[in-house]
Amino acid sequence: QTQPRNTCRKLLRARGLRLSAVRHCVAFLQALSAKRVSFSPRLQCTTHRRNFTLDLFICTQFLLNRRRRLRSRLVSLIQSSAAAPKMSKSKPQLREQNLETLDAAKLTPLSPEVISRQATINIGTIGHVAHGKSTVVKAISGVQTVRFKNELERNITIKLGYANAKIYKCSNPGCERPACYRAYGSAKEDNPPCEMCGQSMELIRHVSFVDCPGHDILMATMLNGAAVMDGALLLIAANETCPQPQTSEHLAAVEIMRLKDIIILQNKIDLITEPNAINQHETIKKFIQGTIADGAPVVPISAQLKYNVDVVCEYIVKKIPVPVRDFTSPPQMIVIRSFDVNKPGSEVDELKGGVAGGSILQGVLRMGQEIEVRPGIITKDAEGRVKCIPIFSRIVSLFAEQNELQFAVPGGLIGVGLTVDPTLTRADRLVGQVLGQVGALPDVYSELEINFFLLRRLLGVRSKEGEKQGKVTKMSKGEVLMLNIGSMCTGARVLAVKGDLAKLQLTSPVCTKEGEKVALSRRVEKHWRLIGWGQIQKGLKMDLPTRTA
C-alpha cells in the first residue's frame, strides 16, 4: 500500500505475479479477518465410517491459520521482490565464471577461473585399515570424510570419502620452506595472508582427495575410487610391521590402474621412538623396491598432531604433476557416487532431482546442458534377456563441495544436479555409469574379450610366519570373477579361456571402450581378492533405444 502502483507492478512482475492477483488475495484476507466464520447447523462432514457435525471453533481456527499462512507468504514475496537483486550462491571471494565468455580451447587446469572454484587433480589415500587415511585428509583439508552413521560407529571408512583442499605458497621468496606451503578448505579466498610473514599467498593447486576404505572386504570400493585417481598417498602406520595385507594389495591395485605418482606417508610417528622410526623407514624402502612406488619419497608425519603436513603439501605440488587434460572433446564423466538430496517430509514443490557425483574424464560440462547416462535403467524381459534404457536429463546445478559452478572441467570431484527422478540416484544406484553429451558416449557391452595377466601370488591375505602366500591358480571355464571397469563393479562368468585371452559374460552391462583396463578379482575364503588385470580387446555391443521427442 505504501509503494507506487508502477513500482509494485514491476516488482511483482519480476516474481511472476500480477498486481490484480495480489489485490484479490489481499481482499480475500481482509474479508476473512473482518467477518466471523459461521456455518449452517446442518453442515456436516461425511466419512466412510460415521457422520459428525463440524465443530465451529475448530473450523474457525483452521481458517484463521490458513489466513495467517497466506498473509505471511504474500508479505515474504513482496519483501523479497522489493529487496536488492538476488545474489547468486557464488562466493564473492572466488573468481566468477561466465558461460557467455567461455572458450574451452583456452582453458587449462591452472586457469584462475577454474582453480579458484574447482579441484583439477584427484589424489587417492590408500593403505591398510586404521593407518590414518581419513585423518590425513582431515589434517590437510579440514573436512571429515567419515559421515555415515555406520562409519562413525565402527570408526572405519566404508563408502568413498571425498574432500577438496587448496594448496598455497607464500609469494615472499624469503619465506622458509616447507612452512611457506599451506592448505585450506575449498572455500578459502585465492590470496590469503601468509601465517609466517604476513604477505599474500598464491593458489598453486586445488586438489580433490578420494578417501578409500582399507578393510579387506571393501576392496571393490577401493578399486572404484582408483579409477579416478591421478596420484596417491600410500599410508603406512609406524607402529605396525610393514607391509600389512592391504598395503601390498592396494599398491598392486594402483599399479594396475597405471598410477605412477605416489607419495608414501609414514604415519603415527609420534607413537614410536626415533630408532624404531629409522628402522621402519629402511623396511619401507625395501618393500617398495621393484614396485610402481620404487623411488617414491617417504615422509614421516603425524596426521593426528598435524606434524609435517606442510611437507606433504610441498611434495604434492612438486611430485604429483597436473595431468594433461582434454577440454575440447565431448564431455564424459565417470560416476562414483549418486544421491537423493531430498529430506523426508519435503513439500512437493521443494523436491529436487537426483545428484550424480564423479570426475570428468574429458570435455566441459555446462549449466543447462542436455546429457545422457549409460547404461541407464537395466531391466530383464520375460525371457531373461537384459535390456538397457539410457537416462536423458538436463544439468540444473554444478557444485564442487559448496562452490557453485557455471561449468566443470576434467579433474576434481563434481556434483551434478539433474532433473531425473531422485529414486534413480539414491543409495549409489548410478555408480559405475557414464554421464556425458547425448550420443557421444561409449558403447554398452554385455560380453567382453580381454587379454589378461594374473599375479603370481595372492595379495591381501595374512599368512603365518615362514609360510608363503598362496599361488594364483589359472582361470578356468565356468568360474565367476569380479570385474572393476572404471568405477563399475560387476560379476563375470568365464565362457572360454585360451592362453592369455578370455571371453567373459557380464552380470550387468557396462559402458566402456576397447583398450580400457580392468581389474580381476576372485573369491578366496569368502572375500574377493585381487588376482590380476586385463585389457579389453572387443566385445558384444548392446542395441540401445534412441531418444524420443
pLDDT digits (tens, 9 = 90+) for 26-60: 565 555 555 455 544 444 444 433 344 445 455 55
Cβ-count burial of 526 within 10 angstroms (0-12 exposed, 13-18 middle, 19+ buried)? exposed
Overall average pLDDT of the 132-136 stretch: 89
Q: How many whole angstroms separate alpha carbon 412 and alpha carbon 229? A: 9
Q: Where are the chain's structural domains? A: 5-82, 117-319, 332-437, 444-541
Per-residue model confidence (pLDDT) at position 43: 44
Highest mean pLDDT among 8-12, 118-122, 369-373, 467-471: 369-373
pLDDT at 261 over 80: yes
Instruction: Identify the H or E element spanning 433.
Output: none
**Class for domain 332-437, per CATH?**
mainly beta
Q: How many whole angstroms separate alpha carbon 483 and alpha carbon 246? A: 19
Higher pLDDT, 234 or 68: 234
Q: How many whole angstroms separate alpha carbon 244 and alpha carbon 133? A: 14
pLDDT at 23 over 70: no
pLDDT at 302 over 90: yes
The percentage of the chain sitting over the pLDDT mark of 90, rounded to a whole number, equals 37
Among 75-84, 130-139, 480-489, the range scoring the smallest mean pLDDT is: 75-84
User: What digits encode the pLDDT tens for the residues 104-115?
Assistant: 888 888 888 888
Per-residue model confidence (pLDDT) at position 430: 92
Per-residue model confidence (pLDDT) at position 517: 86
User: What digits encode the pLDDT tens for the residues 355-394?
Assistant: 999 989 999 999 999 999 999 999 988 888 889 999 999 9
Residue type, 278: I
> The whole model's pTM is what?
0.73
The CATH fold of domain 117-319: Rossmann fold (3.40.50)
User: What digits encode the pLDDT tens for the residues 461-503?
Assistant: 555 554 556 788 888 999 999 998 888 889 999 999 998 899 9
**The CATH number of 444-541 is which of 3.40.140.10, 3.10.450.50, 2.40.30.10, 2.30.30.760?**
2.40.30.10
Interacting residues of 373 by C-beta distance below 8 A, sequence separation 6+: 335, 356, 390, 391, 392, 393, 420, 430, 433, 434, 435
H-type helices in 264-361, by residue range? 274-287, 309-319
Per-residue model confidence (pLDDT) at position 89: 47
Reported confidence tier of residue 181, pLDDT bands at 50, 70, 90:
very high
Among 255-259, 322-326, 414-418, the range scoring the smallest mean pLDDT is: 255-259
Among 5-14, 391-400, 492-501, 536-545, the range scoring the smallest mean pLDDT is: 5-14
Judge contact between 519 and 253, C-beta under 8 A: yes
Highest mean pLDDT among 66-70, 246-250, 307-311, 483-487: 307-311
Overall average pLDDT of the 260-274 stretch: 93
Q: For residue 178, what is the DSSP state? A: T
Reported confidence tier of residue 533, pLDDT bands at 50, 70, 90:
confident
Q: How many H-runs (helices) and E-runs (strands) does the chain carry?
A: 10, 24
In this chain, the answer to whether the domains covering 117-319 and 332-437 adopt an identical fold is no
Within 10 angstroms of residue 456's Cβ, the number of other Cβ atoms is 9
H-type helices in 15-148, by residue range? 19-34, 56-82, 112-115, 133-141
Q: Which residue reads 529487496 in cell numbers?
A: 83
